Amino acid sequence: MKPMIVILKDGTDSNQGKNQVVSNISACLAVSEAIRTTLGPRGMDKLIVDNRGTATISNDGATILKLLEIIHPAARTLVDIAKSQDAEVGDGTTSVVLITAEILKNAKSFIEDGMHPTIIIRAIRKATALTIKKIKEVAVTIKSDDDKEQRVLLEKCARTTLSSKLIARQREFFAKMVVDAVLMLDELLPLNMIGVKKVTGGSLEESRLVSGVAFKKTFSYAGFEMQQKKYTNPKIAILNIELELKAERDNAEVRLDNVAEYQKIVDAEWSILYDKLDTLHKAGVTVVLSKLPIGDVATQYFADRDMFCAGRVQEDDLKRTQKACGGAIITTVENLNNQSQQVLGTCEIFEEIQIGSERYNCFTGCPKAKTATMILRGGAEQFIDEVERSLHDAIMIVRRAVKNDSIVAGGGAIEMALSRHLREYSRTIPGKEQLILAAYAKAFEVIPRQLCENAGFDATNILNKLRQKHAENNIWFGVDIMHEDVTDNFIAAVWEPAVVKINAITAASEAACLILSVDETIKVPKSAAETSNAAKAMNMG
């Protein structure tokens, strides 16, 4: 009798072989089914309620997958590629998941027939290289020396992105706003220099773009209403100092013999505060912003001297103000008079304005860095949150279009062109690779097919028309959502930066290869809590 060899801990779940690969593919297909209907201008939205009862309405692939909390290890790969697509280019998160799932679905039949995954992976990598090369060949460069023309091109890219979002009807309005915001930035186009603030109430069209920094009025004391609310060319002090009389710490203890000594302590505390306030006033400061609280004494002091103050300003707002208006975040007011040129900021106009039920502090005409703030209006809170997510996608796309100025036609046009190119190439090579390349080519048709299905069109009919147009070398023909037909999407201005497609296809192929290369899953059981050494020493084990 052979001895029994135990390698894995008791209760370990181990699955391997062909069935495990097929099982992983099925899990990925189930994930893609969850977001399949969100693709395109006629995509549906998903309402997701988390364990705390917070409701989120979205049709952004990455947002939905993050909220679904998927636990299947292979299916989590799809969540990761959607996140990476969102971080890298901002749009195309649903497309990348659908393409991955379709590649796997087409590879599933080969796995079931006994083909080795390594052969499939090699062919997928070859097909990806061919695809990327083809995109770079056909992409059109839209670099324009004319600023007006460049702006029109960028607005077309922004409109294409917003056409599949919740705010599709207002895409003209928001496309202009997004392009304005991006063009206000400097050459590096830093994303954190575009602030987004949300004010519930009002209509979407009441949203506005501030060319500078804007943040919500902070908590303030009574003397605040006496302060001036508009300044021209103010001197701005950005502080990390508390300007209020502090209560003693819980464990502070001061022993006094008489009332006079107590009075000295109180007087010292007041004089420390007034010294700080006097120093700020003498340095010519007109606007005081602080990360820490500004108390009622300081507020009244500033009001009496026509100075404006705001305490407890959020750190990101403070940093954007510092970058835009210049100056430095000050942690002490000593020597402020001598260094006022270096440490104080300025702008053309500072004013406090009313937006809906909120009041906002706005700094415009900032000399140092270029920054913008979008103030979004709308009905329900969930609705404004989705508007913010939609605009994030559009901002990312416009940034990419400014940096990488080559574009392709959207609406399934580039996918059909790639599908035809790969199918024709597959006929020129022998062996198993021919089958896999043809299957990979077929996978791209999922995008135009899903666009048709989500719009309620006859997908077979539209795809046949597209195949015919592409066979005649009309490479920019894609789905026309408005007229249930096919059209030249380049002329129709349905544009996407080529980098979005390159990134999506590369990520989809890598994810598909990763999932196909896994042939065994081992789940180690959670270990029961072992008795600690301290408990053992006390004979509690």
Q: Residues with catalytic annotation? A: 60, 93-94, 393
DSSP state string for 123-138? HHHHHHHHHHHHHHHH
Chain position carrying tokens 């959207």:
410
Three-state SS string over 331-389 comes to: CCCCCHHHHHHHHCEECCEEEEEEECCEEEEEEECCCCCCCEEEEEEECCHHHHHHHHH
Q: CB atoms < 10 A from the CB of 414, how many?
A: 28
Angle between helices 413-426 and 446-455 (to 10 degrees): 140
SS3 state of residue 192 = helix
Closest of 89, 67, 88, 65 to residue 78, by C-alpha: 65
For 64, phi and psi rounded to 5 degrees?
-65, -45
Residue 355: φ, ψ to 5°: -125, 110
State which amino acid sits at residue 469: K
Distance separating the N- and C-terminal Cα atoms of the chain? 39
- Residues forming beta bridges with residue 179, ordered by sequence position: none
Write the CA distances from 375 to 213, 215, 354, 399, integer angstroms.
11, 9, 12, 20
- What CA–CA distance (Å, rounded) separates 134 from 482? 29
In the sheet that holds 230-232, the strands lie side by side as 212-216, 358-364, 349-355, 230-232
What is the four-CA torsion angle of 387, 391, 393, 397, rounded to 10 degrees?
Answer: 160
DSSP structure string for 77-128: HHHHHHHHHHHHTSS-HHHHHHHHHHHHHHHHHHHHTT--HHHHHHHHHHHH
Q: Is 141 helix (H, G, I), strand (E, B) or coil?
A: strand
* C-alpha–C-alpha distance, residues 444 and 507, integer Å: 14
Give me the torsion for CA of 35, 37, 40, 44, rounded to 10°. -100
Q: At 50, phi and psi to the nearest 5? A: -85, 180
Q: Give the amino acid at 170.
A: Q
Q: How many residues comprise the chain?
A: 541
